[in-house]
Amino acid sequence: MRKIQMVDLQRQYEPIKAEVDASIQEVIDSAMFINGPKVHEFQKNLENYLNVKHVIPCANGTDALQIAIMGLGLEQGDEVITADFTFAATVEVIALLKLTPVLVDVDPVNFNIDIEALKRAITPKTKAIVPVHLFGLVANMEDVMELAKEHNLYVIEDNAQAIGANYTFKDGSKVKAGVIGDVGCTSFFPSKNLGCYGDGGAIFTNNDELAHTIRGIVNHGMYVRYHHDVVGVNSRLDAIQAAVLDAKLPNLDAYNNARRNAARKYNDAFKNHPNIITPTGLSTCDGICSTCDCHVFHQYTLKIVNADRDALAQHLAEKGIPHGIYYPIPLHRQKAYADERYNEADFEVTNQLSDEVISLPMHTELDDDQIQFITNTVINFLNQNN
């Protein structure tokens, strides 16, 4: 059996080596390392894939979030609501821009922002909601968009973990994650579902005016060369990274299918185990049914109940099985984001999840032997220790 890795980028590269190498070589031959045709080509291809009017490439996913929020022109004291259970980047940019982050609890089933908690957190100062499509499953955007409309709020999707996922509205319309709200953001960090070989990110929107504003912000606030109309940043996607992404984009659906297949095998093996709760999708769907494409399994995350999660984690490490605890400490309990207005009782789910979750290896190259070894190791340990 091959060595099990959390993400196996070497193996993923082997079958696409010719395309990736040729695409990178084109950039080197053209010597257009900043912006230039490769970045533009990738931008167009991603716009087509997502069916969105504007993709604005940038340097990383954290920048994408920051720039998207800057583009909306929010002001100090404006409140921005996001999930307590996410990667710190989401809340970091809100705080950095001197806006007021308001963290709310998540749903115990899909790990995404809890709609009732979101409703309770809306005040007259609320200006925006940042739903995070955690672990590859799109948040309940039907309800998020309805609330946003009702209260006149912007919606900024943190789509760093769910590129390629589809969301089906009740009326049957299907939209790609990241292009549902006013603006969407993604990361091309190497381990993400569409990863480059360094840092990268992008912003999506169907709003022409907002796209124009954001294109200036990423380029030092310039709309006309050397005329700086707003305070901007310098955030660019390297042409060499765009070359890698452009070569990989045609495989994104196949990559996401491979992840779903692996998730299905994991779920089958863990089915009905008393100490394991397997990941699940929306209430009407487990996220991995044969017709469904709403979950792209950036992470495959179990809840370990009535058993010692940390002992299991240690056992996996001893057996050479990598794993992750995403996320071990809820954001409202982080020093940087603690706020005296928060009440522990309002974060029951995140607090519990941080004690129960464990993410198993999940990538596009997992094979059956590896999955079987992992699932047997988990099940044997839990059976022997409970």
Ligand X SMILES: *Cc1c(COP(=O)(O)O)cnc(C)c1O
Strands 222-224 and 227-228: antiparallel
Cβ proximity to ligand X: between 12 and 299 the closer is: 299
Cβ proximity to ligand X: between 160 and 218 the closer is: 160
Rounded to an integer, what distance in angstroms lies between the CA atom of residue 154 and that of residue 296?
A: 25
Least distance to ligand X, CB of residue 278, Å: 21
Does the protein bind ligand X through residue 62 (CB under 6 A)?
A: yes
Cβ proximity to ligand X: between 43 and 62 the closer is: 62
Does the protein bind ligand X through residue 183 (CB under 6 A)?
A: no
Binding residue (CB under 6 A) for ligand X from 26, 84, 158, 346 = 158
Rounded to an integer, what distance in angstroms lies between the CA atom of residue 311 and that of residue 322?
A: 14
Annotate 103-133 with DSSP letters as a single string.
Answer: EE-B-TTT-SBPHHHHHHH--TTEEEEE-B-
Binding residue (CB under 6 A) for ligand X from 23, 140, 161, 168 = 161
Of 382, 228, 362, 271, the closest CA to residue 316 belongs to 382
Cβ proximity to ligand X: between 89 and 382 the closer is: 89
Does the protein bind ligand X through residue 26 (CB under 6 A)?
A: no
Strands 174-176 and 222-224: unpaired
For ligand X, the nearest residue by Cβ is: 61
Contacts for 174 with CB less than 8 Å, ≥ 6 apart:
166, 167, 168
Cβ proximity to ligand X: between 140 and 375 the closer is: 140
Does the protein bind ligand X through residue 165 (CB under 6 A)?
A: no
Least distance to ligand X, CB of residue 328, Å: 15
Contacts for 179 with CB less than 8 Å, ≥ 6 apart:
50, 51, 52, 204, 205, 206
Least distance to ligand X, CB of residue 298, Å: 7
Q: Which backbone phi and psi does 185 adopt, to 5 degrees?
A: -135, 145
Least distance to ligand X, CB of residue 378, Å: 24
Least distance to ligand X, CB of residue 69, Å: 13
Q: Which of 192, 248, 303, 319 is catalytic?
A: 192
Question: Binding to ligand X (CB under 6 A): which residues in 118-137?
Answer: 132
Does the protein bind ligand X through residue 201 (CB under 6 A)?
A: yes
**Which residue shows structure tokens 């789509």?**
159
Cβ proximity to ligand X: between 114 and 158 the closer is: 158
Binding residue (CB under 6 A) for ligand X from 66, 86, 278, 370 = 86
Does the protein bind ligand X through residue 244 (CB under 6 A)?
A: no
**Interacting stretch for ligand X, rule CB under 6 A, among 85-93, 107-115, 149-157, 165-173?**
85-93
Does the active-site annotation cover 319? no
Tokens of 281: 């999708």
Does the protein bind ligand X through residue 61 (CB under 6 A)?
A: yes
As to burial, measured by CB atoms within 10 angstroms (0-12 exposed, 13-18 middle, 19+ buried), residue 118 is buried
What is the 3-class SS of 41-98, one letter each residue? Answer: HHHHHHHHHHCCCEEEEECCHHHHHHHHHHHCCCCCCCEEEEECCCCCHHHHHHHHCC
User: Would you tell me how many other CB atoms lie within 10 Å of the CB of residue 8?
Assistant: 19
Active site residues: 192
Applying CB under 6 A, the residues found at the interface with ligand X are 60-62, 86-87, 89-90, 132, 158, 160-161, 187, 189, 199, 201
